[in-house]
């Protein structure tokens, strides 16, 4: 017994000494661009001792002694050996060919490459995002296959149209997400411009855009794909970036990023902080600048089998938004103004002083603030892996913003001479005098004037959203299952107050306002005062809340060469709308003023409330088959749904509430993906069918006057298309890449206007393409790209067709090393719209009677050519 006890104690001592003698090697695995790679195998050479990197590329491995050689390997990358001689964190860099081996993070619960995904997938790394960024989201998104991105409005409120689906613009079918959570959880509370809340900065690690497949099931869900920006988190290797940017038309911008470890040796806490400040008098000068800043950051804590990331944002920013203006009716280029110069904007600083009396006191327009956003979000993201193969993922995000979307509308009628304008209102008018507001300058009666409208929209928003899911891995024979059970919830609250004011201006760029007087029947009359033509022209005020709850169950399977995804999601929405009524108030008894100047339309504090709710389900069946080392075949079938905008719920004066029902969307896709060390390419065919897009009106029953009934008009669309993408490396560093999308789309139902059946979808081209030639050398980089949008119609009537447009970009830079610790300085230049194309990206979406001919054509041109100069210091 004593011998046994002694032997037991001896063995325990040996074991303890062995454990004590071990030390820990930590490090990070990245690609050549510094992008961390998860699930990389890291083992001690010629042993079975190993581990895999986490979702941020970090790894930790116990070794007996130094020196030691680590071998890192991952599919699609060349294996690398690293000699380690101390506990200093190791940075492992894996080199890859062109092949489709970007790791997908969005729309999947398993780590897989783009080649293995059973859906179309686009990923964009930080370097590409930073190079493409010029004027806003559109400059990035228009390079994604299958997306039409209209960016004529400037930095925010990009109109995004995804292949095969109708849209009124902005982010209707494609939620904008940051780190897997949407900027706002419910579409159409008070705005569909979800990019007004967050700006991209140097803290962005990559962009994922999965289209269809299982991506519609997780998180907030989407029928057509998720635009998901993924933030950097700190790693063992410190990274710091400072960039200064200048551009013509008075632009200055400073960006920064800093990331690394918090604490000393052995710490598993990391940070990342990014932000910018920007002042911009362009890209179109109106006298109203864009100005503001943003800060974003996160702190990450690693545990033995999990991580917690706390992140947040604060923004205080004002952006000018550009809308359509009267163009020349023949050429559809800029028209000529009274001064003989091109009119490239009718927006003007001179409108920023408009004010008038209302029942609530003097109203001052906030138009000078443009699209203003102030506020931020806080998010917690926790992940935990258990020894049983169970994995927990949870996210919780709270956002609160004070937001205004103030804009100049496209004009209320075309420019006309001062005389014609006044006599159209009062045929007996004589002694017509137009004076520039605040001056004594009298304009010739032959000069043209224009009535324009200010639309001031106050849109504060609060949003709380959370997601939790559990993924269990188990293997039965050759079949590997990853079963996920999860749920998503959100509570959103918003206000949508709209005030319209109409004013008269001359027809020039940055026009002066015009005060108009005349004589009628011997009486002196005032038609516009301080430029104001119709104060309080319209008023609306809505309060909207929405609660959403969803549950989903998926199984991502792998057996041999097959990857198979199946899943189901059920979701319910309940939305409440409270609408304030409006009344026309008499604000003046001065009979010399026009009737419009004497009155305003304003809120009357009488409210009507309605509720809309519905429940629907989405389902996915998708598969990917590895045909050989280079080729994968894939296909997917999905049934999805779309919740219409809650702000569109109709409430009549007697309290009748219109019905609220989901739109059904069916999609199918089949394709092939090819990859080797020189080329990656995809080709796919797809089909999209949207049913029951509803337009609800509450009307008086003609058979029973005094009774409100519902009149529902439905639309349905059908699209079929083909899409190809490629990236070919001619020689080292030189790439030719691009995409081609052809789609044939039409309305197959249009109840309100049956003659529209067979028409093309509004603002959707048949043909889209992107071409790029890029060189990414160690010191010199350069690229030229072209984005082509084919011909398209401005609205459902198909009466007005816009010509195809091409936008060229040029980017170039030179990087020099400044020290022995990896410090670099890149001096670069970029030119947006290299050929200075002026083609209209859209017509006038608010004028459904727009004509194909006339003296003027109201449209929104491509933003003008712009040169950017950048200096980027990395250390």
State pLDDT tens for residues 386-445: 888 899 999 999 999 999 999 998 755 789 999 999 999 999 999 999 999 999 999 999
In contact, 130 and 710? CB cutoff 8 Å: no
pLDDT in the model for residue 6: 47
pLDDT at 32 over 80: no
What integer pLDDT is reported at residue 217 of this predicted model? 87
Q: Enter the tokens of residue 503.
A: 């004013």
Q: What is the pLDDT of residue 76?
A: 54
Q: What is the mean pLDDT of residues 211-216?
A: 71
DSSP string, 189-233: SS-S-GGGS----TTEEEEEEEESGGGGTSTT--SS--EEEEE--
The pLDDT value given to residue 849 = 61
pLDDT band at 16 (very low <50, low <70, confident <90, very high): very low
In contact, 257 and 272? CB cutoff 8 Å: yes
Whether residue 73 is predicted with pLDDT greater than 80 in this model: the reply is no
Beta strands in 702-733 (DSSP E): 708-731
| Cβ-based neighbours of 832, under 8 Å, separated by 6 or more | 134, 135, 139, 807, 809, 863, 865, 866, 868
* Cα-based distances in Å from 495 to 293, 458, 823: 24, 7, 48
In this predicted model, what pLDDT tens digit does every residue of 698-745 receive, in sequence order? 777 677 777 677 778 889 999 999 999 999 998 989 999 999 999 999
Rounded to 10 degrees, what is the CA torsion of 171, 580, 534, 367? -40
Secondary structure (DSSP) of 5-53: HHHHHHHHHHHHHHHHH-EEEEEEEEETTS-B-SS-EEEETTSS-EEE-
Say whether the peptide bond before residue 67 is cis (omega within 30 degrees of 0): yes
* Bond from prior residue into 741 cis (ω within 30 degrees of 0): no
Q: List C-alpha distances in Å: 102 to 19, 123, 234, 375, 770.
A: 38, 7, 20, 34, 20
Strand partners of residue 698: 710
DSSP state for residue 350 in the 8-state scheme: G
**What is the percent of the chain where pLDDT is above 90?**
62
Residue of 21, 38, 16 lying closest to 29 (CA atoms): 38
Conformation bin of residue 288: beta by default, left when phi > 0, alpha when psi is -120 to 50: beta
The residue-averaged pLDDT of 65-88 equals 78
The CA distance from 219 to 393, in Å, is 11
Statement: residue 48 has pLDDT above 70: no
* Percent of all residues in the chain with a pLDDT value above 70, rounded to a whole number: 92
| CA quadruple 218, 220, 225, 228: dihedral sign | negative
Q: Of the ranges 151-155, 228-232, 250-254, 744-748, which one carries the lowest mean pLDDT score?
A: 151-155
Say if strands 181-182 and 176-178 run parallel, antiparallel, or are unpaired.
antiparallel
| Cβ contacts of 4 within 8 Å, gap of 6 or more | none
Higher-pLDDT residue of 13, 255: 255
Average pLDDT score over residue span 210-220: 78
> Which residues have C-beta within 8 Å of that of residue 846, sequence separation ≥ 6?
409, 410
pLDDT of residue 852: 67
What's the rounded mean pLDDT across residues 66-80? 76
Q: How confident is the model at residue 135 (pLDDT cuts 50, 70, 90)?
A: low
Q: Which DSSP letter does residue 606 get?
A: E
Note the pLDDT tens digit of each residue in 418-427.
999 999 999 9
User: Token pair for residue 567?
Assistant: 């899943």
Which 3-state string (H, E, C) describes 129-145? Answer: HHHHCCCCHHHHHCCCC
Q: What is the pTM of this model?
A: 0.88
What mean pLDDT is predicted for residues 65-85?
78
Residues 19/30, Cβ–Cβ less than 8 Å:
no
Distance of CA 182 to the CA centre of its chain: 10
- Residue 846 — pLDDT band, cuts 50, 70, 90? low
The C-alpha atoms of residue 394 and residue 361 are separated, in whole angstroms, by 49
**346, 408 Cβ separation under 8 angstroms:** yes
What rounded mean pLDDT belongs to the chain?
Answer: 88
Range with the poorest average pLDDT among 394-403, 557-566, 650-659: 650-659
């Amino acid at each position: 017994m004593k011998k046994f006890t002694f032997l037991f104690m001896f063995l325990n001592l040996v074991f303890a000494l062995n454990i004590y003698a071990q030390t820990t090697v930590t490090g990070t695995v990245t690609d050549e661009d510094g992008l961390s790679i998860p699930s990389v195998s890291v083992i001690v050479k010629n042993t079975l001792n190993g581990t895999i990197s986490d979702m941020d590329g970090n790894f930790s491995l116990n070794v007996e002694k130094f020196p030691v050689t680590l071998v890192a390997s991952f599919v699609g990358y060349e294996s690398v050996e690293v000699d380690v001689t101390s506990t200093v964190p190791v940075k492992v860099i894996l080199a890859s060919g062109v092949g489709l081996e970007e790791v997908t993070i969005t729309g999947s619960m398993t780590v897989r490459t783009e080649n293995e995904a059973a859906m179309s997938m686009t990923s964009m790394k930080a370097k590409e995002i930073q190079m493409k960024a010029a004027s806003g989201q559109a400059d990035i998104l228009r390079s994604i296959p299958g997306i039409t991105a209209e960016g004529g409005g400037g930095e925010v409120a990009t109109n995004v149209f995804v292949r095969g689906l109708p849209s009124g613009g902005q982010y209707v079918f494609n939620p904008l997400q940051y780190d897997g959570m949407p900027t706002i959880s419910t579409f159409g509370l008070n705005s569909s411009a979800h990019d007004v809340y967050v700006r991209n900065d140097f803290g962005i690690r990559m962009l994922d855009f999965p289209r269809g497949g299982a991506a519609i099931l997780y998180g907030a869900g989407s029928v057509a794909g998720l635009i998901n920006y993924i933030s950097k988190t700190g790693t063992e290797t410190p990274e710091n970036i400072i960039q200064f940017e200048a551009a013509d038309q008075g632009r200055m911008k400073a960006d920064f990023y800093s990331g690394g470890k918090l604490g000393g040796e052995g710490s598993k806490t990391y940070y990342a902080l990014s932000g910018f400040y920007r002042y911009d008098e362009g890209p179109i000068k109106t006298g109203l600048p864009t100005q503001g800043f943003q800060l974003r950051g996160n702190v990450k804590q690693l545990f033995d089998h999990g991580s917690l990331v706390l992140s947040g944002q604060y923004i205080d920013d004002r952006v000018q938004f550009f809308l359509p203006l009267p163009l020349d009716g023949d050429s559809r280029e800029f028209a000529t103004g009274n001064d003989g110069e091109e009119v490239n904007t009718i927006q003007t600083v001179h409108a920023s002083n408009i004010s008038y009396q209302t029942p609530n006191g003097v109203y001052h327009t906030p138009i000078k603030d443009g699209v203003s956003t102030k506020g931020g979000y806080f998010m917690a993201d926790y992940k935990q892996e258990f020894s049983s193969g169970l994995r927990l993922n949870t996210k919780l995000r709270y956002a609160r913003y004070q937001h205004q979307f103030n804009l100049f509308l496209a004009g209320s009628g075309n420019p006309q001479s001062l005389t014609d304008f006044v006599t159209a209102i009062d045929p007996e008018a004589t002694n017509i005098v137009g004076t520039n507001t605040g001056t004594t300058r009298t304009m010739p009666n032959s000069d043209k004037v224009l009535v324009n409208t200010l639309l001031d929209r106050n849109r504060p928003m609060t949003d709380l959203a959370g997601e939790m899911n559990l993924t269990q891995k188990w293997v039965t024979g050759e079949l590997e299952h990853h079963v996920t059970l999860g749920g998503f919830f959100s509570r959103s609250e918003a206000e949508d107050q709209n005030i319209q004011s109409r004013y008269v201006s001359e027809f020039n760029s940055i026009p002066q306002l015009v005060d108009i007087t005349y004589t009628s029947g011997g009486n002196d009359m005032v038609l516009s005062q301080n430029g104001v033509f119709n104060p309080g022209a319209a008023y609306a005020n809505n309060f909207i809340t929405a609660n959403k709850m969803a549950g989903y169950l998926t199984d991502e399977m792998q057996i041999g060469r097959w990857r198979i995804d199946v899943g189901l999601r059920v979701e319910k929405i309940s939305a409440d709308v409270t609408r304030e009524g409006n009344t026309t108030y008499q604000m003046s008894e001065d009979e010399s003023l026009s009737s419009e100047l004497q009155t305003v339309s304003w809120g009357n504090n009488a409210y009507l409330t309605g509720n809309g709710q519905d429940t629907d389900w989405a389902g996915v069946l998708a598969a990917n088959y590895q045909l050989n080392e280079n080729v994968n075949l894939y296909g997917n079938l999905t049934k999805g749904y779309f919740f219409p905008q809650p702000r569109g719920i109709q409430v009549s004066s007697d309290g009748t509430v219109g019905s609220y029902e989901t739109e059904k969307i069916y999609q199918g896709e089949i394709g092939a993906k090819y990859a080797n060390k020189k080329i990656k390419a995809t080709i796919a065919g797809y089909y999209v069918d949207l049913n029951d897009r509803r337009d609800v009106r509450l009307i008086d029953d003609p058979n029973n006057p005094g009774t409100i009934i519902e009149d529902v008009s439905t639309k349905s669309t059908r699209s079929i298309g083909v899409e190809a993408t490629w990236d070919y490396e001619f020689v080292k560093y030189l790439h030719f890449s691009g995409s081609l999308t052809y789609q044939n789309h039409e309305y197959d139902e249009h109840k309100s206007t049956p003659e529209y059946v067979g028409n093309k979808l509004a603002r959707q081209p048949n043909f889209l393409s992107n071409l790029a030639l890029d060189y990414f050398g160690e010191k010199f980089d350069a690229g030229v790209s072209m984005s082509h949008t084919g011909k398209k119609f401005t609205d459902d009537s198909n009466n007005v067709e816009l010509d195809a447009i091409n936008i060229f970009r040029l980017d170039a830079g030179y990087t020099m090393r400044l020290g022995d610790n990896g410090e670099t300085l890149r001096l670069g230049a970029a030119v947006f719209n290299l050929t200075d194309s002026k083609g209209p990206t859209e017509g006038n979406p608010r004028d459904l009677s727009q004509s194909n001919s006339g003296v003027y054509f109201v449209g929104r041109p491509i933003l003008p050519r712009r040169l950017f100069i950048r200096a980027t210091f990395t250390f």
